[in-house]
Structures are given as structure tokens and as C-alpha cells.
Structure 1
Amino acid sequence: MKKIALVLILLGIVCIPDSLLAQSEPDDIALANDEFQNSFYESLLQKGIENYDKAITALEKCQKLQPNNGTVYFEMGKNYLAQKDYLKAYDFFEKATQIDPKNKWFWVGMYDVCYETKNFTQAIVIVTKLVEFKKEYKEDLVSLYMNTQQFDKALELINELNDTVGKSDLRDTYKSQILRDSKYQSAEKANLLDQIKKYPKEESNYIALIFLYSESNQDEKAQEIAKKLETEIPTSGWAQVSLFKFYLNNNDGNNAVKAMNLVLTSMKIDNKIKHRLLNEFLIFIQDKPQFDVDLEKAISYFDNDKEVKVAKEIGKFYHNKKNWDKAIQYYEIHLKSNPEDMETQLLLLDMYIEKQQFDILAKKAENMIEVFPLQPQFYYLAGLANNQLKNFKKATVILETGLDYLVDDGALEINFNIQLGEAYSGLGDVNKKESYFSKAEKLLKQKK
């Protein structure tokens, strides 16, 4: 029999299961006679070429010759499973386990049927048995508990596996799903407290517990765990993430700065969290100028951030708050390393209009014309500034030059004509003044 199995494997006709090989010695299988051996061989051959009906016929002969041979029932189950006759397949696999309950593969056959038919409830019964053969089946059991919404059992088993074999991405995903329901959070808090006692240097347990306490508005307990984490792992940036918020809530700006700086230097903490902390700090200090230096230092940590230009965003924050001086300060910080950012250059020039600092506006706008000679916005701003400074002749030259670069921008074209009208008015040229104001009025009517 072993020779037959070996030949079939070498020919690639069939794959013999471990259960069959384990029983392939003459003493194990106890072949009744050559007829049984020939029929069994024929069943394997026919199954290998997907003639399942003929394979079943051959196995029925074997069954009559050896009615208590579990391997025969197992092979019958495999053929019916291949034909998707799940009821018969399950019956034959189950009969095989009744004959030889210690053969793992017979139970696997039953599990295969349950999996194919999505009978997860029955699959739990089978997999619970399979765990006795191989502990790794506990992973399957977790998924089955999730599919049958037995979340308490799933959570208990997840924690057991996390403790004994380590965490996995799939189990972490399952756990997150379970803990969305607050009724399971108490058990998880108790588990995490136990894990912290057993493994005081495992940072992830503290982080998870801080999150759960924060989600359930148990801020004092969250702070207690954060301080415990800080004590056990002084370099933990995650402890500072939690403590930072507590310091802000307690109006403790100095300690908030210390916590924030530790977070911003941590390589373990995602930039999104760092940005969030910086935004919270920005809101906290908007009426506390004593922290301006700390804000500038915090911004420096983001110098190489390609996704978010932090200084620019802070400039916009103060811009919206009409704090022109602070907006100018942070726009200029951004422009030191990004001088060709035209949007920020325009935002900066807008600040000088708000502050009525037309001498600075004229100088900076004219400099920008040299950097961006094809951008009409800078010609317009330079013209506007020179008009305010009563440099009317210079204004007309700049504005008329800028008009040549204007394309499909109706609003800006109206403003150009208004400023040209103002410039010629200042020069005493009534005809040109009326001509440009008339163009502006006509364009305005067309826009409406």
C-alpha cells in the first residue's frame, strides 16, 4: 500500500493526507485482501482525475469489506465534498471520527464542510475539538466567535492569545471592533490593568488603557495611567501625548510645552498626532504671548514635513483671527524656506494692505515682480501701493505692464482699471481717468 501511495504522489495524481499515511502500514490499515487494496487504489486514482462517482463506487466496495475502517469513510467524505454534496460529506466525516476520534484529519473534514456551508455555530464545536490536536486552531476559533457575534468569548480568547503567543493585526482589528461597544470595555480595562502589572515595560497596554479611560470620560484615571507610564518608561512619547492634554486643561502651559516637545521629537508618534497637539497648543496660547518662542521652536520640528507647511498654516490661523502682526511673522518664517510659494507671498502682501503699510507693500510687490514677472497679481498690488504713496506715474507704468499678462480674470481686470483710473486722476489726466473707470464699470455690469 505504501508503494502505491508513493507512486501516486510522484505522478502528481493525488495528494495523500497525513491521516492515510499514518495508517498506511499493513498493521494499521489491516487490508482484508487484495480486493480491498485494489478497490482503494482505484478510488484514489479516480479521485485524482476528478471521477468522483467512480471513486465513491470503489470506496463502497472497500466499505463492505472493512465496515469499520475510518479512512474509507474519510475518503468518501472527501469525494462528496468535492461534489458539493455537503450533507453526505459531513455524515461520512462524522462517521470516520466515531470510528477513530483521535485522527485529526477526520475532524478537519467536518470543519471543511462547516466552512463551505458557513455553518459557523457547528464549526465552533468542531474547532474546539481540533484545538486538542493543535493549539493554532484557537486563531480559527476567534474568527468563528466574531462571525457568531459571541464577542465576550472572542475578547477573552484574544487576550489569552495576545498573552501567550503575542499580538496579531487580525486580532487587533477584532478587538477594536468589540471595544466599540462600551459594555465590553470594563472587562478590557481589567485585563489591561492585569497586563500592566505583569508586563510593566510594555507600552502598548498603557496606551490602550489610557484610550479606554479617555473614551469613557474617566480623565483622572487616564492621567493616573499616563503618569504610571511616564514613571515606568520615562522616554515614552505616548505618556506625554496624554499628559499634554491634562496640562492644557489645567492651564499649565509650562508643563504642556515640555510634554509637547517630547512628543514632537518622538519617532514613534505619527505626524497627524503631532499636528493635532500643535493646533491645540496654538489655540491655548493665542492670548498668551509669553509662549511665542515655544511656538516657534515647535514649528522648527516640522521643517522637513512635506505634507503640511506648519508655519504657513499658523500664519493663516492668525490671518483669520485678524492678528496681522502674528500672521506676517509666520508667513515670513514659512517664506524663508519656501520663497517661491506665490500663494503665501500674496497672503503676506495682503497683510500690509490691512496694516496700511503701503511703503512696505510697494517694495515687496516690486520685488515679487522680479521673481514672478508673468504674474499680474503682483503688478496690481505694486500699482495699488504706489497710488497710495502718490507715486502716480510709477503706478501707471506698473499697472499697464501688468495688464498685458492678465488672462481670464474678470475681477482682477476690474481692479486694474480702477487703479489705473485712480493713477490718471492723480496725474490730472481726466480723459484717461474716465476711460479706465468706464471700463471698470462696464466689466462690473458684465460680471453681474
Structure 2
Amino acid sequence: MKVKVWIKAVSVLGTMLFSVLSFAQTEPDSIAIAKNEFEEHFFEALKQKGIENYDKAIVEIEKCLVKEPNNPVLHHELGKNYLALKKYPEAQRAFQKAVDLNPKERWYWNGLYDVYYETKDYPNSIIVVQKLIEFDKEFQDDLVSLYMYTHQFEKALALIEEMERTSNISQMMETYKLQILSESQHNKPQKEQLEQAIVKYPKVEENYIQLIYLYTESNQEEKALEVAKKLEQNIPNSDWAQVSLFKFHLNNGDGAKAASAMQSVLNSTKIEQKIKHRILNEFLIFVNKTNTMDNELEKAVDVFEDQTEVNVAKEIGVFFLNKKKNDKAVHYFEKSLLKQKDDILVIELLLQCYTDTNQFDKVYKRAEDYLEMYPSQARLYFYAGLAQNQLKNYKKAVSILNSGIDFVVDDIDLEINFNIQLGEAYNGLGDQNKKYAYFNRAEQLLKQKK
């Protein structure tokens, strides 16, 4: 059961007041009521609740209710104070009244859930959580737990499998699933039953999915592949057939067929984004392992180009950088910057890739270009100075490094590297005194780290 924590605040700025009725889908603690006497009682209630004088808060709210008996916000506040006092029947009645007056307000349903859950009234909790799922899908975990508490294992398993088909499930849900499946009386239909169901109802997709799962669980990969192919044949537009076929083709080392199935899944409007990301990750590992299918990988990354939540090209670049495949990392970092040109982390990773592959002309040019965008970014000066040292432009390196070292703040490693590069630059200029001064400074900083 996930922890329910609601953050509550009251904010009053000068004489600015907000009508209770203007709040719809927000936690209704931050409310001011535009009637002097009414307002005083309401804010006194909030104050008393804040210092845990719940009895006094209830008295103040009841005074407000005399004036506005059908105000759901007031009934919700009343419920919260009764709940804090563990007066569950009174709290339940208050929250129910708030729900009756405004069933579209999530927080009122949350109040009912708190009462039922604390009193272990799981049947009523289930009813309320089913409503809360309409507001937030994360309550599905709560519903599974409630089904487990009430021994409704079939419903729990059905919901877990539904969740599994659209997203990653939590470890707790995995545990519940194993627990249910371990009990023989709660096993899914046997393979023979599902095979017969497919013959009888060839257009019911769920039977294929369950049978593929059972064959996969018993390591009968060839049988599972046959079912996936049959699903593709009988329901040609089944996106789930392509999900299964992708995995089979990948396991068989057939990158071309896997890539084709992957493209179908990635372009599907029925498959959830988390599953698409999972498939892309599996294909990425295959590409890295086999050093093939680079074009197909890039086409897959392009599918995510308009996605705002995750910069997929950036993540692919980081993957290849960690695998020491700098050329591929550079390609995807460049691609990432086309989408988000001001991503300073990607800029620095790109400069590091160029440095690792001794492309110092590119290091300097790109660092200099980005300094126009980030004139106080110390690492850009460092890379530009390092590049000039490698290109034997020592005087220019000194100028760049001296300009950048002042921007180093609370980064001892970067400060050490600046001093080393300054030492190298002065060594190139033949100034041994300054060379050793900077090298000694770097050594002192290294000792500080220890």
C-alpha cells in the first residue's frame, strides 16, 4: 500500500482573498472566504488544526457551516479534524457529505479512503479506490493490495496483468503475482484450454497473449513463437503480436526482423511509452553487442524525436560513451543538440568525446562557439585551453585558461586540471618558474583531496 502524504498550506497575501467556490481540483486548505465573520472562523479553524487543537477547529468549522451548510470544502475540513481525533464515524459522514456535494473533487474521495483504510474497512476502500483511479492511475497498486487483503486473487491477478501490459510494475506487484500463481487453485487457464479458445474465438487477442506468456514461462520458446505468428495472422493489426515477435527475433539473432517488428511497435498508438522504451533498450544492447543495425537504431531513435519527457538521443549517446564507442557517442550527442542546443551536459560530454579521440580542432571550435552561449561556464574554458595546448598555441592557451579559472567554484578536480593545463602551457612557452608554480599548485590541491 503506497504511503499517502498530502502537503497542506495556507497563504494569505495582504488583503487578497479567494472564494471557496473558485477551487476545483486543488487541496482546499489554501482558501480564504470573503466574509468577515465567516473568514475569521474559517482561518481560526485552520490555525487550530495547525497546532493540533482539533476540537477547537471543529467548533470553528461548525460556525461556518451555519452560514454555508452545503459548502463541500467545510465538510472536508471537518472530516480531516475528526480523522485526526480518530473519530471515524464522524469523519466518514463529513467526507461523504463533501463527496455528495462535489464528486469531482479528488481530495474528498481521498478523505473517505483514509477513513476506510485506517478502520480496515477494505470492501468500502475498494469502492473508493476504484473511483480514485479515475483521477490517478497509480492507485491501481492500492487496488491490487486491497484485492489481496480481501482474498480476491483472480481480480488482483487480472489487474496486475493489465498493468503489466502498459507499464513496468513495482516489486510489490511482482511479489503478489508470484504469490497468486504459486497457488494451484488460482492458476491461469491451462494451455490446452487457451488453444481451444483460440480455435473457437480466433479474434480474441487476450487468449493469445496469455498462451504466449505460459509458453514463455515454461521455456517453450518455439511454441510461444508459433502462437505469436498465429496472432499476427488472425489479427493482422495486433500491436501485441509485434511486441512478442520482436523478442523472439532478437533472441534468435535476426536483427532485420527484430527491427521491423520494433518499428511497428514504436509507431503504434496502442503501446505505452514505457514498453517502447524497453524495446528500444533491448535493441540498443543488440546493436552494441553485434556492431550491426546502426541505421535501424537511428530510425528508432527518430521516432522519439518529438518526445519531451526524455531526450532519447542523449541517453543513447551516454550509453555508447560508457561503452567507449566515442564515434557513436559523438553522433548521438550531435543529434541530441539539434533537439536541445543549450543542454550544457551534452555539450561537455561531446567535448570530452572529441578530446578522447584527439580531435582538438573540433574541441576548440565547439568550446569557443558555446562560450558565446555560456560565458561563465568554466569547463568550456578548460576544454578550449586544453585544445590550444595540444595544438601548441601555448600563449592562447594561457589567455583562455586564465580567463576561465576564475569561474571554477567548489570543484577541486576541475581546479587541479586547470592548473595542470596552465603548467603545460607555460612549459611550452619555456617559462619554467610558472610551469612549476602551477604544477605545485595542482599537487597541493591533490593532497587536499586526500
Q: Identify if the C-alpha distance between structure 1 residues 213 and 179 changes in structure 2 by more than 3 Å, giving closer, same or farther.
A: farther
Give deviations 1:349-408, integer Å, cap 9, x for gaps. 111111111111111111121121111001011101101111111111111110121111
Partner of 1:340: 342
The percentage of aligned residue pairs carrying the same residue is 55
For residue 242 of structure 1, the aligned residue among 241, 244, 247 is 244
- 1:287 deviates by 5.2
Structure 1: segments with no counterpart, 5+ residues: 1-115, 121-142, 159-171
- Paired residue secondary structure (1:234): coil
- Correspondence for 1:181: 182
Alignment counterpart, residue 380 of structure 1, candidates 360, 379, 382: 382
Q: CA deviation at 1:117?
A: 12
Q: Contact 1:324 / 1:351 at 8 angstroms: preserved in 2?
A: yes
Q: Which has the larger radius of gyration?
A: 1
Q: Aligned with 2:189: secondary structure?
A: helix
Tell me the residue number matched to 1:357.
359
What is the 5 A alignment of 1:2-401?
A: 179-181=180-182, 183=184, 184-185=186-187, 187-286=189-288, 288-401=290-403
In structure 1, what is the Cα distance between the partners aligned to 2:380 and 2:231?
A: 54
Letter in 2 for 1:181: S
Report the Cα offset of residue 235 of structure 1. Answer: 1.3
Return closer, same or farther for 1:150/1:311 CA change in 2, 3 Å cut-off: closer
CA distance in 1, matches of 2:414, 2:149: 62
Structure 2: runs of 5 or more not aligned = 1-118, 124-144, 159-172
**Residues 143-185 of structure 1: CA distance to partner in whole angstroms, max 9, x if unpaired?**
999778697xx69xx9xxxxxxxxxxxxx99x95775227354
**C-alpha distance in 1 between matches for 2:264 and 2:197:** 26
Q: Name the CA shift for 1:190/1:424 in 2 (closer, same or farther; >3 Å).
A: same
Shift of the alpha carbon at 1:299? 0.5
TM-score, length-scaled by structure 1: 0.59
> Does the 8 A contact of 1:185 with 1:212 survive in 2?
no
Identify which of 421, 424, 435 aligns with 1:419: 421
Shift of 1:300: 0.6
Contact 1:241–1:259 (CA under 8 A) maintained in structure 2: yes
Cα distance change, pair 392–230 in 1 and its aligned pair in 2 (3 A): same
Q: Which residue of 2 aligns with 1:85?
A: none
Query: Higher helix proportion, which one?
Result: 1
Q: Partners of 1:145 and 1:442 in 2: how far apart? A: 63
Q: Secondary structure at the match of 1:217?
A: coil
Which residue type is aligned with residue 308 of structure 1? V
Paired with 2:384 and 2:422, the residues of 1 have a C-alpha distance of 12
Q: Distance in 2 between matches of 1:186 and 1:416?
A: 64
SS at match of 1:308: coil
- How many angstroms apart in 2 are the aligned matches of 1:240 and 1:289? 24
Distance change (3 Å), C-alpha of 1:228 and 1:282: same
Deviation at 1:288, TM superposition (A): 4.5
Q: Assess, with a 3 A threshold, how the Cα gap between structure 1 residues 218 and 362 changes in structure 2: closer, same or farther.
A: same
How many residues were matched structurally?
293
Deviation at 1:412, TM superposition (A): 0.7
* Pair 1:280–1:231, CA change in 2 (3 A): same
SS in 2 for 1:298: helix
The equivalent residue for 2:30 is: none
Cα RMSD of the aligned pairs, angstroms, is: 3.2
